[in-house]
Amino acid sequence: MKDARRALAVVAMPDGIYAIGGYDGTKYLSSIEKYCLMQNKWIRVKSMNTARCTLSAVASADCQSIYVIGGYNGQPMDTVERYSVNTDTWEYMPPMITKRFMHQSVNIIN
């Protein structure tokens, strides 16, 4: 990867592996790197709106979006953001009722 990071979230998608947010030892990160399978290298994609570590992330059922949930940036967070794989854009979603960090998320498909 281009940036050292710990306490990040990782999502596997059809187009690559996304390394999301984290902490670099001095600051919380909003940056995202994708291991592009076609190019066989790490590339940067658009950063999240909010820097955070110890977050969770999950792919949508159609693999068109990534949801980033909660995390920590000096305090627990209730923030949820959605990344569009097709447009390389982020948007805020309704916040969680309870602030969470160091948690996991899963998408259950029926």
Residue 104 in tokens: 């996991």
- How far apart CA 78 and CA 80 sit, in angstroms, is 7
pLDDT at 92: 98
Domain boundaries, the chain: 9-93
- How far apart CA 45 and CA 62 sit, in angstroms, is 20
pLDDT digits (tens, 9 = 90+) for 28-62: 999 999 999 899 999 999 999 999 999 999 999 99
Phi, psi of 97 (to 5 degrees): -70, -35
Task: Please tell me the pTM assigned to this model.
Answer: 0.93
